[in-house]
Amino acid sequence: MKKTRLCGCFSCFLLLGLLFCSPFNSYSTSFVVVGDTQGGGVKPSPVAYQIMKEVSLLSPDFVIITGDWTDGPSRESWTNFLSMMKDGNIPYHLTIGNHCVTKSWDKWCKLHQELIKGPLYYSFEHENNLFIVLCCFSNENGNTVEGKIDSTQFAWLEEELNKSAKFKHVFIFVHEPLYPVTRQHTGSSLDKHPEERDKLAELLKRHKDKLIVFCGHEHLFNEQVVDGVTQIISGGGGGPLYASPEKGGFYHYLYCQAEDDVKVRVIQAGSIYDTNVLKTPYFLHKNQKEGLLGLLPVYSLDDRQITIDAELSDWGKLAPYVLCNERVPADDFCANLYLRWSEKGLYFAAKVKDKVHMNNNTGKNIWNGDAIQLAFDPLGNATPGHYGSNDYEFGMAMTSSGQQCYCWQAPKKEKLGLRTDIQSAIKRDGEFTIYEGFFPAAELAPIVLKPDHVWGFNALFLNDDNGQGATNYIELSPGLLYGKNPSLFRKLILIDQNRN
């Protein structure tokens, strides 16, 4: 019997056991779980650097990375990853992921022995808890087989669990989940070998009352209980996200505490810098509306130059914000949103999957077709209700009259209407519409484009497939489509990428 619960939003936190009885500072063991920090080429994702800064503020006993540290196994990429972990000044433990291996078993194992200098699977004790780290890859005739724990490791695991009676809690870490939740990895996780997966599940089931399994691989947050065994997927460490925020697709990490009971808090990347968060033991906001206001990191432009031409190759390997609407199949309509900043202004790009491009409107009505709307609360001080005097709202669309940019809201009336002075580019590429643009700082005044500044932002993607007007949409947050309410916009925090 399988029971699944997807993350409802950023406000989710998992309470296991009698949690409400335990004060925050009573836990004797604290650890952080981070999954899938790849996405930066030969470096970890910029999001991963940011997360490790936040982890340093929390000062857990140690960090466990659930695999896929960088985009692939190489001396340069792993050296960069280890440098990031060393700079965090927190003890850490590593799990092997599929981006850590090659088809040749000996090739990646040799690199692992030289740089990681530890076993592929292992266990350790901390306080009254047992931690078990598994390797879900096996060696068959020199070839790496994915999603399979070999018989030697299984026998070792069985022995470890047989000794677990003396421990209060058992925490197991394995990169690939037993029960994946996305189409991307159904059939390419431990379920790839169902007989071996079921054998592992039966073993874990014997110890289900004290055991939690942490996984990565899928770039989202998800918690589910299968036959009494709790599996938590945490793959929001920086890799491209797999789902909408409401379905767990947001950058995050887990802060775990264990004593008589276990508490697992999901922390959205960037939220720890909210002073209100630091003042309370509950690092997460407590309802959906507040959760949507969590800080979203936006990284500074590095040495590269971005040309506004609707070609995204010059954006590098920056992980996008992946947006979709659960009521619309992602194969029909979804969007990747990119943001970068410099003191000169804000760069944005979007790649929207939309099989049919349609917009029969012009000027102020471009919203009623395939289009994108971008809104700004430069001071981040919006109160519930309509726009304030410093807010902006722009739209961009490829219309029957050509590419158009329109401004519906601005502090100065002369800035309203069609705008030809905003750099923008739109083009179709197969089933995708590519948007790219640049807003000079002066055009968003009084915005402050400096590190650690926080302000409000929203993006709305509209879809018209039959020429009768927009019928579907995707939004970064509420507050733009059904009434203007910038207090519901996402809050962005500007991060200096060179300040690792």
Place of tokens 């491009």: 357
Which two tokens mark 387? 């726009």
Burial (CB count <10 Å: 0-12, 13-18, 19+), residue 288: middle
CA angle 359, 362, 368 (to 5 degrees): 50
CB 425 within 8 A of CB 310: yes
The C-alpha atoms of residue 66 and residue 174 are separated, in whole angstroms, by: 7
My answer on whether omega of the bond before 446 falls inside 30° of 0, hence cis, is yes
Asked if pLDDT for residue 442 goes beyond 70, the answer is yes
* CATH number reported for the structural domain that contains residue 316 in this entry: 2.60.40.1190
| Amino acid identity, position 339 | L
Residue scoring higher pLDDT (421 or 271): 421
Based on the fold, state whether residues 227 and 78 are members of the same structural domain: yes
Which two tokens mark 118? 């530890």
Give the pLDDT confidence score for residue 112 in this predicted structure. 96
Based on the fold, state whether residues 310 and 237 are members of the same structural domain: no
The C-alpha atoms of residue 56 and residue 59 are separated, in whole angstroms, by: 5
State the pLDDT confidence band at 1, using cuts at 50, 70 and 90. Answer: very low
My answer on whether omega of the bond before 60 falls inside 30° of 0, hence cis, is no
Q: Is residue 342 part of a domain?
A: yes
The C-alpha atoms of residue 77 and residue 74 are separated, in whole angstroms, by: 5
Based on the fold, state whether residues 278 and 312 are members of the same structural domain: no
Give the pLDDT confidence score for residue 270 in this predicted structure. 67
Asked if pLDDT for residue 280 goes beyond 70, the answer is no
* CATH number reported for the structural domain that contains residue 24 in this entry: 3.60.21.10
Q: Which domain holds residue 220?
A: 2-291
Sequence-separated (6 or more) residues with CB below 8 Å from residue 389: 411
What pLDDT, in 10s, does the model give residues 37-94? 998 788 888 888 878 888 887 788 999 999 999 999 999 999 999 999 988 889 999 9
Based on the fold, state whether residues 332 and 209 are members of the same structural domain: no
State the pLDDT confidence band at 6, using cuts at 50, 70 and 90. Answer: very low
Give the pLDDT confidence score for residue 429 in this predicted structure. 92
The C-alpha atoms of residue 31 and residue 26 are separated, in whole angstroms, by: 14
Give the pLDDT confidence score for residue 287 in this predicted structure. 29
Sequence-separated (6 or more) residues with CB below 8 Å from residue 225: 3, 5, 231
The C-alpha atoms of residue 91 and residue 234 are separated, in whole angstroms, by: 19
Q: Is residue 404 part of a domain?
A: yes
The C-alpha atoms of residue 271 and residue 249 are separated, in whole angstroms, by: 15
Instruction: State which of 20-29, 54-63, 345-354, 484-493 shows the largest mean pLDDT.
Output: 345-354
User: Considering the chain, what is the average pLDDT of its residues?
Assistant: 84
Based on the fold, state whether residues 95 and 231 are members of the same structural domain: yes
Give the pLDDT confidence score for residue 279 in this predicted structure. 34
From 264, 291, 318, give the residue that closes a domain: 291
Q: What is the DSSP string of 201-254?
A: HHHHHTTGGGEEEEE-SSSSEEEEEETTEEEEEE--SSSPP-S-GGGT-S-EEE
3-state secondary structure of 324: strand
The C-alpha atoms of residue 473 and residue 460 are separated, in whole angstroms, by: 7
Give the pLDDT confidence score for residue 490 in this predicted structure. 83
- Total tally of structural domains belonging to the chain: 2
Asked if pLDDT for residue 289 goes beyond 60, the answer is no
Asked if pLDDT for residue 170 goes beyond 90, the answer is yes
What pLDDT, in 10s, does the model give residues 365-384? 999 999 999 999 999 888 77
Give the pLDDT confidence score for residue 345 in this predicted structure. 93
The C-alpha atoms of residue 98 and residue 367 are separated, in whole angstroms, by: 42
* Alpha carbon distance, N-terminus to C-terminus of the chain: 46
What kind and span of H or E run contains 255? strand 252-258
Q: Is residue 87 part of a domain?
A: yes
State the pLDDT confidence band at 426, using cuts at 50, 70 and 90. Answer: very high
The C-alpha atoms of residue 324 and residue 333 are separated, in whole angstroms, by: 7
The C-alpha atoms of residue 289 and residue 83 are separated, in whole angstroms, by: 37
The C-alpha atoms of residue 229 and residue 224 are separated, in whole angstroms, by: 8
| Amino acid identity, position 342 | S
Based on the fold, state whether residues 409 and 286 are members of the same structural domain: no
Residue scoring higher pLDDT (133 or 53): 133
Based on the fold, state whether residues 381 and 305 are members of the same structural domain: yes
The C-alpha atoms of residue 9 and residue 26 are separated, in whole angstroms, by: 28
Question: Distance from CA of residue 497 to its chain's centroid?
Answer: 17
Q: Is residue 500 part of a domain?
A: no
From 291, 306, 339, give the residue that closes a domain: 291
Which two tokens mark 393? 């709202």
Give the pLDDT confidence score for residue 319 in this predicted structure. 65
What pLDDT, in 10s, does the model give residues 213-224? 999 999 999 999
Closest by Cα among 457, 463, 343 to 393: 457
Asked if pLDDT for residue 145 goes beyond 90, the answer is yes
Q: Is residue 275 part of a domain?
A: yes
What pLDDT, in 10s, does the model give residues 397-420? 999 899 999 999 999 999 999 999
State the pLDDT confidence band at 190, using cuts at 50, 70 and 90. Answer: very high
Based on the fold, state whether residues 319 and 238 are members of the same structural domain: no
Based on the fold, state whether residues 263 and 195 are members of the same structural domain: yes
Give the pLDDT confidence score for residue 500 in this predicted structure. 46
Asked if pLDDT for residue 209 goes beyond 60, the answer is yes
Sequence-separated (6 or more) residues with CB below 8 Å from residue 270: 50, 54, 251, 294, 295, 296, 297, 493
Lowest mean pLDDT among 39-53, 135-149, 386-400: 39-53
Q: What is the DSSP string of 96-127?
A: --GGG--SBHHHHHHHHHHHT-S-SSEEEEET
The C-alpha atoms of residue 500 and residue 497 are separated, in whole angstroms, by: 7
Asked if pLDDT for residue 295 goes beyond 80, the answer is no
From 274, 291, 308, give the residue that closes a domain: 291
Asked if pLDDT for residue 292 goes beyond 70, the answer is no
Which two tokens mark 499? 């300040």
Question: Mean pLDDT, to the nearest integer, of 300-317?
Answer: 85
Based on the fold, state whether residues 69 and 24 are members of the same structural domain: yes
Based on the fold, state whether residues 306 and 193 are members of the same structural domain: no
Place of tokens 């996984």: 215
Give the pLDDT confidence score for residue 87 in this predicted structure. 84
State the pLDDT confidence band at 498, using cuts at 50, 70 and 90. Answer: low
Residue 497 to residues 49, 191, 277: CA-CA distances in angstroms?
A: 9, 38, 23
Which two tokens mark 339? 């943001």
Based on the fold, state whether residues 256 and 326 are members of the same structural domain: no
